[in-house]
Structure 1
Amino acid sequence: MKVLVTGYSGQLGYDVVQEGKRRGLEMIGVGSKELDITDEEKVHTLVQKVKPDAIIHCAAYTAVDNAEDNQEACFDVNVNGTKYLASAAKEADAKFVYISTDYVFEGTGTEPFTEENPACPVGYYGLTKYEGEKVVQSLLEKYYIVRISWVFGFNGKNFIKTMLRLAETRDELNVVGDQHGSPTYTFDLAKLLLDMVETDKYGVYHASNEGFTTWSQFAEEIFNVAGKAVKVNSITTEEYPTKAVRPKNSRMSKDKLERKGFNRLPAWQDALKRYVAEYQEEVK
């Protein structure tokens, strides 16, 4: 199988390519330097040249706060770029994986959102990701829409790296404690995405590591696993204002994965331990 992966310079795209290579698949990873996904002609030219069996679309405009001020750029990447890639996938008769987000929901309540819950994004980033979902569904039949949350991997910035960096100079931190969700380790998610494209079980899925936590609890566990003596003070969302609205409920049900015969991702605590162990090895 030949798989084209966008967003190769990011956390998830990089891990998807590495996992595919471990499986003996032909992987072609492209970052923004190799392909401007907002250029329709270049997208179609590349896909026609590569002739992939599947496209895993990891590239996205993910700067949630900046999206509020740079709406045109955000829309161009998340909606137009997705449309060009999905259209090219249709021409190539390639399966298509679109990475979406918990931000497509309004983020209220306490119950985990299912794939059947209506989307109701409250910020511009979430709106563009939902528009991307609709584009994929309108153009394609062979698609997987995979919503994820709280992403961490090695090839980029993330919450764990930020916490460990701050631990070098701080012994006390204030972290938001009323936003609930699940971390997603790109190493684990990459395996699931490739499992998916080897099937024809198309549709919308939720995929993050098992279990729910808050950002402050996540930070506490990061310091615990890393052996850092940092006190975490849990604060409210209102005490840490941001330009874009952050969902207080990012819990998503992953029951559908099991129903469709896919393996759920490991518990987030297990993923964190593996990540921190490897991270500490790298920075020695």
Structure 2
Amino acid sequence: MKITVIGSQGQLGQDLTARLAGEGHEVSGLTHQQISIENASSIADALTQTAPELVINTAAYNKVDLAESEPEVAYAVNALGPRNLALYCQQHQIALMQISSDYVFGLDLSREQGYREQDAPGPVSAYGLSKLAGEYFVRALCPQHYVIRTCGLYGKAGKTGNGNFVETMLRLGQERDSLSIINDQYCTPTSTRDLSEALARLIATEQYGLYHVTNRGQTTWYELARTLFEIAGIEVETQPITTEQYNAAADRPRFSVLDCSHLEQVTRFEIPDWQTALENYIRS
């Protein structure tokens, strides 16, 4: 299959491109310099050149706090960008995979069980709203679509400037004597390598739709950091704090764990738990 990955130099883009190429697909990658999804003519120019059967959009505006003060920028990239892609793909009978976020949830403060695809979303930030709008555009406009909700991505490309929580904690754990880390936000950090494996298997099924895809299990950012330091052999004092104490500009979901059983049923693939994924990442 001819596949074009938009955002091919990002954490997910790099791992996904490599995984799909390893499956024998003809994969082309597009960077922000080569395509601007906010611009319909830029999309047409770039995709005319690559002529894909499937487009995978990993590009996004991910500055969650900054989005509160410039929501129009987040909306342009995370909502109107996918809309432009969906329109082009619909017109040319191309399948589209849109990468979304667990941040489409968060409004239900009493939630204790993983969200399934049929559960009602409820974003609590401008970023979350923009990602949800992008989902709706893709699902409404492009019949051959995959919409993938995932969470807390980390991958090897994060070492070269894109950043992720795991790499940030590894750096701060070596630079500082003590760290204060949020302990009341429950989620599932996800390895881009494991996510890429799951998505490659999903693409092979051609079963379109909405999917939750993360590593298994749940944790808090504090518990993740403690596990990370133990695996890496870093000694640093850690203090659990609340979301209110951290006082970020944007609100975050207190619980955004995703139930991935639908993916497992379709692909017959059980993605590793988050502890195993984290250890594999550190060891490698």
Q: Distance in 2 between matches of 1:79 and 1:264?
A: 30
Question: What displacement does 1:138 show?
Answer: 1.0
Q: Distance in 1 between matches of 2:101 and 2:221?
A: 17
**Aligned residue in 2 for 1:115:** 117
**Aligned residue in 1 for 2:181:** 175
Q: Distance in 2 between matches of 1:177 and 1:25?
A: 42
Question: What displacement does 1:45 show?
Answer: 2.1
Which of the residues 124, 138, 146 maps onto 2:126?
A: 124
Q: 1:51 to 1:91 in 2, by over 3 A?
A: farther
**Aligned residue in 1 for 2:75:** 75
Q: Distance in 2 between matches of 1:198 and 1:55?
A: 14
**Aligned residue in 1 for 2:225:** 219
Q: Distance in 2 between matches of 1:78 and 1:262?
A: 30
Matches within 5 A, 1:129-278: 129-155=131-157, 156-278=162-284
Q: 1:261 to 1:169 in 2, by over 3 A?
A: closer
Question: What displacement does 1:52 show?
Answer: 0.6
Unaligned ranges ≥5, structure 2: none
Q: What SS is found at the alignment partner of 1:167?
A: helix
Deviations 1:150-201 (Å, cap 9, x if unpaired)?
1111112001111111122223211000110101100111111122222221
- Number of matched residues? 278
Q: What SS is found at the alignment partner of 1:84?
A: helix
Deviations 1:230-257 (Å, cap 9, x if unpaired)?
1221111111010100111011111111
Q: Is the 8 A contact 1:2 1:54 kept in 2?
A: yes
Deviates more, 1:191-200 or 1:95-104: 191-200
Question: What displacement does 1:121 show?
Answer: 1.0
Q: What SS is found at the alignment partner of 2:269?
A: coil
Q: Distance in 1 between matches of 2:189 and 2:167?
A: 13
**Aligned residue in 1 for 2:4:** 4
**Aligned residue in 1 for 2:36:** 36
Q: What SS is found at the alignment partner of 1:93?
A: coil
Code of the aligned partner of 2:151: S
Question: What displacement does 1:16 show?
Answer: 0.8
Q: Is the 8 A contact 1:207 1:254 kept in 2?
A: yes
Q: Is the 8 A contact 1:258 1:264 kept in 2?
A: yes
Deviations 1:49-73 (Å, cap 9, x if unpaired)?
3221111110011110011111111
Deviations 1:113-164 (Å, cap 9, x if unpaired)?
1111111111111101111111011111111111001111111200111111
Q: Is the 8 A contact 2:202 2:266 kept in 1?
A: no
TM-score scaled by structure 2?
Answer: 0.95
Q: What SS is found at the alignment partner of 1:99?
A: strand
Q: Distance in 2 between matches of 1:62 and 1:48?
A: 27
Aligned-residue sequence identity (percent) comes to 35
